Amino acid sequence: MSNKYALKPDELKKEFEQKKPRLLKGEFAGKDWWDLPVEFRDGNWCFPAKPEVLDELHFANPRKWAATDKDWQLPAGWEKTIRDGMKDRLKRFRSFKVFMDSCVRCGACADKCHFFLGTGDPKNMPVLRAELVRSVYRNDFTGLAKILKDFSGSRTLTQDVIKEWHMYFHQCTECRRCSVFCPMGIDTAEITMMVRELLNLIGVNNNWILAPVANCNRTGNHLGIEPHTFEQNIMSMVDDIEDLTGVRVNPTFNRKGAEILFITPSGDVFGDPGVYTMMGYLLLFHHIGLDYTISTYASEGGNFGMFTSNEMMKKINAKMYHEAKRLGVKWILGGECGHMWRVVHQYMNTMNGPADFLKEPVSPITGTKFTNAKATKMVHIAEFTADLIKHGKLKLDPKRNDHLRTTFHDSCNVARGMGMFEEPRYVLNKVCNVFHEMPENTIREQTFCCGSGSGLNAEEFMDTRMRGGFPRASAVAHVREKHKVDSLVTICAIDRASLPALMRYWNPGVTVYGLHELVGNALIMDGEKKRTEDLRENPMAGFEEDDDDE
């Protein structure tokens, strides 16, 4: 794989060869971090939001610009805007204030960040990423530090600082891996969220985040799919499913009185390989006769507002409860996604609840009460399916996935912003026969990001993405060599969109799957025809056309 936004894999491998065993790239003896230049070049910055996108969102400072410009055309008085914005956020978020005050720079986080491991840039060590802001905080918001500027590492806010913030807070995917290791519990994701809010106040932004936000606001989903196309897309999957299995599933749209509203990231409806995961959901719901509906209005599980500001996150998320109320469903079932689940789990009920108009979620098939979701009233599909399998409600043939040798990638947000580790593993082990874990320091709460999360999945950002994804790819390479693993299973739509590129770059031959795609492969549907191919129309091992004793 090659494009102008990334080095060829061999060139990047050479860079690593040359610097090993060092992690840092470059020489820093006698240098202070604040003297290191910020260099924008092809592949390490995302295109800024188009003026019309900003106009649509009523966001500040619409203009044409690029990160490589010398003058970023910041609005008059931008320093005051940032300073006031910081003051306001320090007041509203205890997290921000405590994280500014209590870092001891012990360095435990330094080599925990995938972007640091992949770029070797010292300012990608989480502690320094935070120091980029702390240095300004100390200067503007604390007394003594201002006097002893060098001693305390404080500095004045300038346009160069803004450039630095833009670069490094868009080289953080809000994955929270550093916060697992921090003895103070400092969470760089929280700091990144604050800084991105601040940058948006002066029009320093990312089109790959704000265009989906504008789309989501208008059409209900990030990809900007209008209702008729949304429905058509799913119906074409229904046709594909019929061709493959002989079974016609029957999803409904915007149907009032359904028991359950199903919401999943729009990537599952429109993107390859997400669509195969969607086909898995459709097969599963048909298999158990679920009374559910899909909304074309609340047609997005994901929430790029989270990467913009807490207000935007709330605005986009509000559609879920609004639609659930209008349709009169009992509760909401959510598909596989990473940051969507951080929003649903940690933010939704606070922002847009209480959801008194919904009922405590109960599985209509097993009668299981999902007490852990009794207030938010939204259940994760992996919880739902694990419960179905545990109660023996699914007819499964795991041999149908024998053509796949799997490993499981924990999505950052589901891992560290929700704590769901066992359910997807339980489901995976029931629907396939070959599963191997990646090394323990790269899974579960220590999982590595795909390198493209939090709205950084842009094509023009390829170099940084491939570097940031290197720790994940390295762990996959390990199980590929040791156990011949060829299938990377995820429960995140961004992963499904970004990991294929990462695998092509680092581990050609490894394919990315959604968990429920494998569920769909394994389900024995009533009235199905003889299955020979999986949902991607790849032949299944041991199910060949003329093989009589399957």
Partner 1 sequence: MKKVLKPLIAVIVLALIPWVGITYGKLDYLFAIVIPYAAAAILVLGMLFRLVDWIRRPVPFNIPTTCGQEQSLDWIKTNPLECPSNPFMAAMRVLSEVFLFRSLFRNTRAELYGGPKLVYGSYKWLWLGGLAFHWSMLIIVIRHARFFLDTLPLPIELLETADRFLDVTVPAFYITDAIALAAITFLVLRRLSDEKMRILSLSTDYFPLFLFGAIAVIGISMRYVTKVNVMPVKALAITLAHFGFDAPEPIGVLFYIHLFLVCVLLAYIPFSKLVHMGGIFLSPTRNLPNNSRAKRHKNPWNPDIKFRTYAEYEDEFREKMKKAGLPVEKQ
Spatial separation of the C-alpha atoms in residues 72 and 51, rounded to whole Å: 14
Instruction: Select from 353, 331, 356, 341 the least CA-distant residue to 301.
Output: 341
Considering the complex, state which of residue 47 and residue 421 has its C-beta at the smaller distance from partner 1: 421
Dihedral sign of CA atoms 444, 459, 268, 317 in order = positive
Considering the complex, state which of residue 139 and residue 217 has its C-beta at the smaller distance from partner 1: 217
Instruction: Say whether 539 sits in a helix, a strand or coil.
Output: strand
Tell me phi and psi for residue 454, to 5 degrees.
Answer: 55, 40
Considering the complex, state which of residue 418 and residue 541 has its C-beta at the smaller distance from partner 1: 418
Return the biggest CA–CA distance within the chain. Answer: 84
- List residues bridging with 334 in a β-sheet: 263, 380
Q: Strand runs (DSSP E) across 93-229, as ranges?
A: none
Spatial separation of the C-alpha atoms in residues 287 and 121, rounded to whole Å: 50
Considering the complex, state which of residue 16 and residue 47 has its C-beta at the smaller distance from partner 1: 16
In whole angstroms, the minimum distance from the beta carbon of 279 to partner 1 comes to: 20
Considering the complex, state which of residue 177 and residue 531 has its C-beta at the smaller distance from partner 1: 177
Considering the complex, state which of residue 492 and residue 540 has its C-beta at the smaller distance from partner 1: 492
* Cα dist from 40 to 9, 45, 74, 208, 543, whole Å: 21, 7, 17, 17, 52
The position carrying tokens 């019929």 is 242
In whole angstroms, the minimum distance from the beta carbon of 436 to partner 1 comes to: 17
Neighbours of 249 (CB within 10 A): 19
Considering the complex, state which of residue 37 and residue 143 has its C-beta at the smaller distance from partner 1: 143
Considering the complex, state which of residue 16 and residue 40 has its C-beta at the smaller distance from partner 1: 16
Spatial separation of the C-alpha atoms in residues 445 and 420, rounded to whole Å: 9
In whole angstroms, the minimum distance from the beta carbon of 413 to partner 1 comes to: 10
| Amino acid in the structure at residue 86 | M
In whole angstroms, the minimum distance from the beta carbon of 237 to partner 1 comes to: 15
Spatial separation of the C-alpha atoms in residues 480 and 475, rounded to whole Å: 9
In whole angstroms, the minimum distance from the beta carbon of 223 to partner 1 comes to: 15
Instruction: Say whether 493 sits in a helix, a strand or coil.
Output: helix
In whole angstroms, the minimum distance from the beta carbon of 42 to partner 1 comes to: 22
In whole angstroms, the minimum distance from the beta carbon of 519 to partner 1 comes to: 17
Tokens of 83: 């300073």
In whole angstroms, the minimum distance from the beta carbon of 377 to partner 1 comes to: 8
Considering the complex, state which of residue 233 and residue 532 has its C-beta at the smaller distance from partner 1: 233
Cis peptide bond upstream of 354, omega within 30? yes
Spatial separation of the C-alpha atoms in residues 52 and 63, rounded to whole Å: 9
In whole angstroms, the minimum distance from the beta carbon of 548 to partner 1 comes to: 39
Tell me phi and psi for residue 305, to 5 degrees.
Answer: -60, -30
Cis peptide bond upstream of 273, omega within 30? yes
In whole angstroms, the minimum distance from the beta carbon of 265 to partner 1 comes to: 19
Judge whether 254 and 296 are in contact, CB under 8 Å. Answer: yes
Instruction: Select from 130, 142, 90 the least CA-distant residue to 106.
Output: 130
Considering the complex, state which of residue 62 and residue 417 has its C-beta at the smaller distance from partner 1: 417
Beta pairing class for 292-294 and 260-263: parallel
